[in-house]
Chain A
């Protein structure tokens, strides 16, 4: 026994000794190092800007590469970037970009129009699957891009196409580095996440310094960056940036609280706590604006789903009956959802385009007020009467029952569905709620069409034509009835026409009425019922200066610095 005890003592002592002999070192101070620490949800998938399809890869390369134009998050209008100006001629069919002369790649080679041509070639290469090609294709044809000299790029279009200025800002990649890979068909395997940071030849405000998988991405300032501030000072003002990878949201929150991260975008339930602790934690908390996307209930109007053994399922009639859909819209308690699921930090969504999209959002729509009595009356008048207490039937006497689904793993979506299910039950409509694994759900929405009602969200972009795949009757994301051979209804035909016409006018303010009309049609015809939009917040150290974030991104990020 003595022997065992002494052995145990040795172990305990050794452990204690090891933890006691600490090497003291100075705590890393972000403001002295002028290095901004931010969080990131997952590892990047690639460092090749053309191949990016996920948000994390996009974040990783955002500050390394630039495009011809960039979008100002405050005005939501395109602004010069690598192109210092552009002219539109030939009635909108020709756009001439004048490139900056003072831009160099990080290996010292000058940036020129050849790199722009090469980037476009890579995007149009059939061996390079990428997400940019669809917005750079007009009526199924690629753009004609020419370079009359080293600093001029001319883009010729088959017809005037306004969304081009929002799509042309693709990150430009260096021809002298990647040209060979594209020629030999190796492009898809270049600049993966195993690339040495020095081999990523870039020209943006930062250069990559280090990537540690699962841990962090470190960037240092590009000393040759072309942009200057109003007094001619070098930009960016920060000396470096670090993106810390934290898969778990709660862990990320704790890291912000403990001072490891300088910027954090809190969830609704964390906003209040951060507000209380602003002074104690030396942080500022600011709303960034209304969410850019839209989350809605979609109802399956696809006849292919409803014909079983030659008989039409009655659901098809309900979901295409405007009275039925209006009653369903009046039964959605948006106020209750905002208070219960978002702690009051959300606004009812009325139009399909978010109010964050200043120019294209239609502010004139009147919401369907939450009113169960009115909903019951509309149903009664349209012939959907109570068969017995608590069970409503359609005019042919079928009891109204349908399935509601949403991707699993989202507590807010679960709550919204629960609230809606309860209100519909009060009307005598039975809803079977069954969340599905994302991939299985996509399968149903995209190919088997075996669903009734789904709660789903899309992220938004400033350019409304990016949603064409969803709005157009032939689109594969036209969720309520995808890939229609001909528009199934007159109003879907009208949306198709408006989408075409809306791209032919070059001035954003003159384009807006077309998209306002589309939002009006969706609002009146109700193939989808909009829910609510969250109000975003950002919390950051109060020693950060010039930090100004909108829902579309950070405004003038090059000016950010820590107070000295």
Chain B
């Protein structure tokens, strides 16, 4: 176990360096830089742009800039955003909580509904319930999330009730509310985004669960369980479900990286102050330090999530051990 952990942790170092270097080079290979857009502003003279270029160190060669960035990052300093002239960590912090609240609640919503529903439709295969839920799942998968977000906002305008607000993370008078009203206000503003984010994710999860169960239902050990007279609920609940959960454990690991990646399109449409939009803007305006900060964060979360998923798999599935994981 310890050897496995050490090995995996050591492997992360070259991975992180590789990923960040590729992202850094990709950002630098794009024509122009953060200041190019300013060149079309008649109020800004070329001298000012040259000054800023020197101030941000954009004249130095690529490798030098990357090493500078890496050296700072090792010291937990992600630099200063070019757009905002504020520390990258401060910027990410200011949005991280909202993104976290949104992604955790939509994930809980998705998983809590998708897994039981997946089981139900698999058990009642080809029934009317299965058909209806499956068609809904396909519908949910095929409607683009941002479009669904617009429909949801239109719906909110049509309903026109204070508990179904038209976008935003909280009401403008939030600061003057009592603690319970604050919580209620937050929940109000989460209803539509969670529904929109949930519907798309739920569909695929539910389909996956269904096919997993259908596959395992035909396995020999299930027939054995039935043959020895176990009630159907126990067969499904204990034997089928536990075996069907394996891919979900791995998926939960990946989900860790998704927690802080945000959903830029939904954030733009529903006006949520998340990380997704911040980073989309950063990429568009070539704000390298901000983009790199988020790449680093995403990479670390993905690698750690993967590691945790593997550890959980060992705990859940007795057929998997550290030896077989290491040889993969």
Interface string of A167-191 (1 = CB under 8 A from B): 0000000000000000000001100
Q: Does A80 contact B (CB under 8 A)?
A: no
B184's nearest neighbour on chain A, judged by CB, is: A23
User: Closest Cβ of chain B: how far from A194's Cβ, in Å?
Assistant: 5
Bits for A456-467, please: 1 = Cβ < 8 Å to B, else 0. 001000000011
Q: Return B64 CB to nearest CB of chain A, in Å.
A: 22
A194 touching B90, Cβ below 8 Å? yes
Beta-carbon contact of B85 and A258 below 8 Å? no
Pair A42/B281 contact, Cβ less than 8 Å: yes
Q: Does B214 contact A (CB under 8 A)?
A: no
> Residue B5 at the A interface, CB < 8 A?
no
Q: Of the candidates A131, A260, A443, which one forms a contact with B44 in the assembled complex, judged by CB atoms under 8 Å apart?
A: A131
Cβ-based interface call for B160 (8 A): yes
For the complex formed, measure the closest distance between the CB of B18 and the CB atoms of chain A, giving whole angstroms.
Answer: 27
Given A214-B277, A218-B172, A1-B83 contact (CB < 8 Å): no
Smallest Cβ-Cβ distance to B171: which chain A residue: A28
Q: Report the nearest B residue to A212, measured CB to CB.
A: B273
Question: Distance in Å from the Cβ of B178 to the closest Cβ of chain A?
Answer: 8
Chain A residues near B157 (CB, 8 Å)?
254, 257-258
Size category of the A interface is 35 or more
Q: A188-B55, A248-B271 are in contact. Are A442 and B36 (CB under 8 A)?
A: yes
In the complex, A442 Cα to B39 Cα: how many Å?
A: 7
B150 at the interface (CB under 8 A from A): yes
Residue of B nearest to A134 (CB): B45
Tell me, rounded to whole Å, the shortest Cβ–Cβ distance linking B234 to chain A. 9
CA distance A1 to B80 in the complex (A): 56
Whole-angstrom distance between the alpha carbons of A555 and B148 in the complex? 40
Decide if A17 is an interface residue (CB 8 Å cutoff): no
In the complex, chain B residues whose CB is within 8 Å of the CB of A135: 43
On whether the beta carbons of A37 and B172 are closer than 8 Å, the reply is yes
- Which chain A residues lie closer than 8 Å to B267 at the CB level? 214, 247
- Are B167 and A53 in contact (CB-based, < 8 A)? no
Task: Please measure, in the bound complex, the distance between the C-alpha atom of A469 and the C-alpha atom of B45, giving whole angstroms.
Answer: 9
A470 at the interface (CB under 8 A from B): yes
Which of B37, B42, B160, B171 touches A439 (beta carbons < 8 Å)? B37
Residues of A within 8 Å of B40, CB to CB, are 442, 445-446, 477
A535 at the interface (CB under 8 A from B): no
Chain B count of residues within 8 A CB distance of the other chain: 76
Q: How many Å lie between the Cα of A8 and that of B120 in the bound state?
A: 10
A210 at interface by CB-CB < 8 Å: yes
* Chain A interface mostly: mixed
**How many angstroms from the CA of A545 to the CA of B21 in the assembled complex?**
57
**Structural contact, B43 and A134, CB atoms closer than 8 A:** yes
Q: Which of A224-249 contact B (CB under 8 A)?
A: 242, 244-248
Minimum CB–CB distance for B49 against chain A, Å: 8
A438 on the B face (CB < 8 A): yes
Q: Which chain B residues border A25 with CB–CB below 8 Å?
A: 162, 177, 181
Q: Cα distance A244–B153 when bound, in Å?
A: 17
Please give, as numbers and ranges, the residues of chain A lying within 8 Å of B232 by CB-CB distance: 1
Q: B160: which A residues are within 8 A, CB to CB?
A: 258
Q: Which of A130, A214, A246 has the most CB of B within 10 A?
A: A214
Q: Contact check: which of B45, B233, B281 meets A4 at CB < 8 Å?
A: B233
Decide if B85 touches A247 in the complex (CB within 8 Å). no
Q: Is the CB of A7 within 8 A of B116?
A: yes
B 94-126 binary contact with A (CB < 8 Å = 1; else 0)? 110010000000000000110010011001000
Q: Does A129 contact B (CB under 8 A)?
A: yes
Residues of chain B with a CB closer than 8 A to A439's CB? 30-32, 36-37, 286
Which one, A27, A53, A442, contacts B162 given CB within 8 A?
A27
**For B173, what are the chain A residues with a Cβ–Cβ distance below 8 Å?**
28
10 contacts between A and B (CB under 8 A): A8-B120, A28-B173, A213-B273, A214-B267, A246-B167, A250-B150, A442-B39, A446-B40, A466-B43, A477-B42
Residues of B within 8 A of A (CB): 30-32, 36-46, 48-49, 51-52, 55, 80, 83-87, 90-91, 94-95, 98, 112-113, 116, 119-120, 123, 150, 153-154, 156-157, 160, 162-163, 165-173, 175, 177, 180-181, 184, 187, 191, 232-233, 236-237, 267-274, 277-278, 281, 286
Chain A residues proximal to chain B, CB less than 8 Å: 1-4, 7-8, 11, 18-19, 22-23, 25, 27-28, 37, 42, 45-46, 51, 53, 126-127, 129-135, 188-189, 192-194, 210, 212-216, 218, 242, 244-248, 250-251, 254-255, 257-258, 260, 438-440, 442-443, 445-446, 458, 466-467, 469-470, 476-477
